[in-house]
Homo-oligomer: A and B are copies of this chain.
């Protein structure tokens, strides 16, 4: 079926872009992963940039679903924020090997001066706004809540980058504990 093949392409490209980077991933690699010919490819996507756009849209959808899921699991904002903080543990193996999918894609597209870069940044904004919403629910003013959201995002990016570089699990655990203590304590910025 057409929709299935298209979905297969998007999911394969999503994973390959994460593991190898956008530019380094060739049509050949995606086609081989899906098990179709390179020619068939162009029936579904006319350019590589179209695939990237589809992959980003796919990530935005799955991220929205994930955040909704987290919100459904608990009504406690602090617990929700903790869920985010612990991604670096939950996805520890992937992060050690390939870094954060959002951070590394955004950084690559910045260097390529790629037109889809704003959409990749929108992925960050999704987390940012969701986190800010939780801090607002904890009683903080919107501006403070946003600053706290960025602080948590910066934590995740810093930890992911160093986890990828050094592969040090103890470091990740320590930083998670530290930020959870900050969350349970004064939330000083």
**Is B110's CB under 8 angstroms from A107's CB?**
no
Partner of A158 from the list B159, B168, B171, B181 (CB cut-off 8 Å) is B159
Which of chain B's residues have a CB closer than 8 A to the CB of A20? 111-112
Interface residues of A in 130-167 (CB under 8 A from B): 147, 150-151, 153-159, 161-162, 164-166
Which of chain B's residues have a CB closer than 8 A to the CB of A166? 121, 124, 150
Q: How far is the CA of A153 from the CA of B171 in the complex (A)?
A: 11
Q: How far is the CA of A155 from the CA of B152 in the complex (A)?
A: 11
Q: Mask for A89-107, Cβ within 8 A of B = 1, else 0? A: 0000000011100011011
**Is B110's CB under 8 angstroms from A164's CB?**
yes
**Is B189's CB under 8 angstroms from A107's CB?**
no
Copies per complex of this chain = 2
Which of chain B's residues have a CB closer than 8 A to the CB of A189? 174, 178
**Is A151's CB under 8 angstroms from B175's CB?**
yes
Q: How far is the CA of A161 from the CA of B103 in the complex (A)?
A: 7
Q: Contacts A171-B147, A189-B174 given: A121-B24 contact, CB under 8 Å?
A: no
Which of chain B's residues have a CB closer than 8 A to the CB of A111? 19-21, 24, 98-99, 104
Partner of A155 from the list B99, B147, B158 (CB cut-off 8 Å) is B158
| Minimal beta-carbon separation of A98 from chain B (angstroms) | 6
Q: Contacts A23-B21, A23-B24, A171-B150 given: A165-B112 contact, CB under 8 Å?
A: no
Which of chain B's residues have a CB closer than 8 A to the CB of A110? 97-99, 164-165
Interface residues of A in 8-38 (CB under 8 A from B): 19-21, 23-24
15 more contacts with CB within 8 A, not counting A106-B164, A107-B164, A110-B165, are: A19-B111, A20-B111, A21-B23, A21-B108, A21-B112, A103-B107, A107-B161, A121-B165, A150-B168, A150-B171, A151-B178, A154-B159, A154-B171, A155-B158, A157-B162
